[in-house]
Structure 1
Amino acid sequence: MLHIIDDEDVIRDALSWLARSRQIAAVGYSSAEQFLTALEQPLRFDADGDCILLDVRMPGLSGIQLFDLLSERHLVRRLPVIFLTGHGDVPMAVDSLKKGAFDFFEKPFNDNKLMDRVLEALAQSRAAGVTAQVHERLATLSAREKEVLDLILLGKMNKVIADELGISMRTVEVHRAHIFDKMQVKTAVELAGILK
């Protein structure tokens, strides 16, 4: 989902149309405050990724201030920010990029280049979401399951794992089944793939 935050209706409408022309779902917000209100709802990230197009200068909370709030909440990896401004300068652009902004475009901008960067930001967001889900699943494993997991990832067979941990092969099989269930995989190869 592309979140367009700009105080100018015409800009939001044009960017929404541009996004739809590239099959990107978009929603507009007239202020940083309106976006923050929406963000306070139970946070549901889009499986296809999320990206923010953010105007730098707006009445009330500025785009830079909103970006700083998102950074404090550690959300800019999952919600990459592309700044848009008609008043940008090189130091502002460099500073925002150093702080973790995905990109910075000065108005007027090249439509195709902007949407290409939005697609890249959505891909980054999607990857960050998958990584977060894997970490959440890993956190559900018991200490023993993590030991078994490490040995599975080394390619060891159940009998070898049982011998190394001093447990029965049946116990290893039960742990293996729990690990696969919790990690939402069906094979050791799939497990290794999501943990690489």
Structure 2
Amino acid sequence: MSKSPNLSQSPLICVVDDDEDVRSSLSSLLRSIGYAVKTFAGPLDFLASDAVDAASCLILDIQLGEADGLEFQQELVTSDASIPIILISGHGDIPKTVRAMKAGAVNFLPKPFEEEALLAAVAEAVSRDQRRRNDAHRDESIRLRYEQLTPREREVMALVAAGLMNKQIAWRLSLSEITVKIHRGNMIRKMQVKSVAELVRLADQLGVRAAPETHPDATPSRQGNPPL
């Protein structure tokens, strides 16, 4: 049997199956290796719970009495629910298997299935969910850093990401080059980047990259110093 998941907080595995014996046996198996488990007799019970966003994996029976597991899977996909799904069925139906996998199921297991096969599928689903949550956390962190920038720092960020030099940015924004350097330094510190390449990547993620547009010789031609 697979070892207990080495995580600081046990991932939540949800089981939707209209067979009470199946729910009970799966719950016992998953709890025995350290997963948190919630079971439901049907899709509506699952949707009415607080487990939808918290779940790291959904084990879903295809045949749920009057409900259709594949249709419910599609509803979850359509609603942008990101929970990884493992479909189980008492019948090895190849067309349904293909349909389920195309819709994004992590795995399709015909009953009866080996414990190791289920646990391997669950481990893969939990791993996918952890990567998704890590990505979401990283994206949120980037967004929060960007929100700390002043309007002027955001302008400088977009222009730096577009490839403009400090003197070109100064011309575009009617600033002195020294002032641009100050804004640029503050922006880099707040965004926590170590290179222009990293800044370009973050700007692309945020959708704030500006189109390059420079003065022909990139040198201000106005008399006197541009305003601060």
Cross-structure match for 1:84? 88
Q: In 2 relative to 1, CA 164–3 (structure 1 residues): closer, same or farther, beyond 3 Å?
A: farther
8 Å Cα contact 1:6-1:30 kept in structure 2:
yes
Q: 1:17 is matched with which residue?
A: 28
1:3 counterpart letter in structure 2? C
What's 1:130 paired with?
134
Shift of the 19–145 alpha-carbon distance from structure 1 to 2, 3 Å rule, reads farther
SS of match in other structure, 2:44: helix
Q: Which of 153, 175, 178 is the equivalent residue of 2:190?
A: 178
TM-score (norm 2): 0.65
Inter-CA distance 147–65: structure 2 relative to 1 (3 Å threshold): same
- CA root-mean-square deviation: 3.1
1:45 aligned partner: 54
> Does the aligned pair in 1 maintain the 2:157–2:187 contact within 8 Å?
no
Matched residues, percent identical? 22
- As a proportion of its length, which structure holds more helix? 1
Matches of 1:124 and 1:149, distance apart in 2: 35
Equivalenced residues, count: 174
* CA displacement 1:86-138 (0-9 Å, x = unmatched): 02411110111111111100000010111011011111011112222333344
Per the alignment, in what secondary structure is the counterpart of residue 114 of structure 1? helix
Distance in 2 (alpha carbons) for counterparts of 1:112 and 1:145: 54
1:26-37 alignment to 2 at 5 Å?
26-37=37-48
Give the distance between the partners of 1:149 and 1:38, measured in 2 at CA: 47
Work out which of the residue numbers 59, 75, 82 in structure 2 matches 1:69: 75
1:38 match: secondary structure: coil
Q: 1:106 aligns with which of 110, 118, 127?
A: 110
Partner of 1:157: none
Query: In structure 2, what is the Cα distance between the partners aligned to 1:149 and 1:115?
Result: 48
Match of 1:183 in 2: none
Secondary structure, aligned partner of 1:28 = strand
Q: Tell me which amino acid in the other structure corresponds to 2:57.
A: C
Give 5+ residue unaligned stretches, structure 2: 1-11, 148-153, 171-178, 203-228
Does the CA contact (< 8 Å) of 1:3 and 1:52 recur in 2? yes
Distance 2:45 2:92 in 1: 23
Structure 1 stretches lacking a partner, 5+ long: 155-159, 181-186
- CA displacement at 1:56 relative to structure 2: 0.5
CA contact (8 A) 2:15 2:38 kept: yes
Moved over 6 A (4+): none
- Aligned in 2, Cα 1:30/1:97: closer, same or farther, shift over 3 Å? same
Cα drift, residue 170 of structure 1:
2.6
Contact 2:106-2:124 at 8 Å conserved across structures: no
Larger RCO (alpha carbons 8 Å, 6+ apart): 1
Computing the radius of gyration from Cα coordinates, the structure with the larger value is: 2
Q: 1:65 Cα deviation (Å)?
A: 1.8
CA contact (8 A) 1:145 1:176 kept: no
CA contact (8 A) 1:148 1:172 kept: no
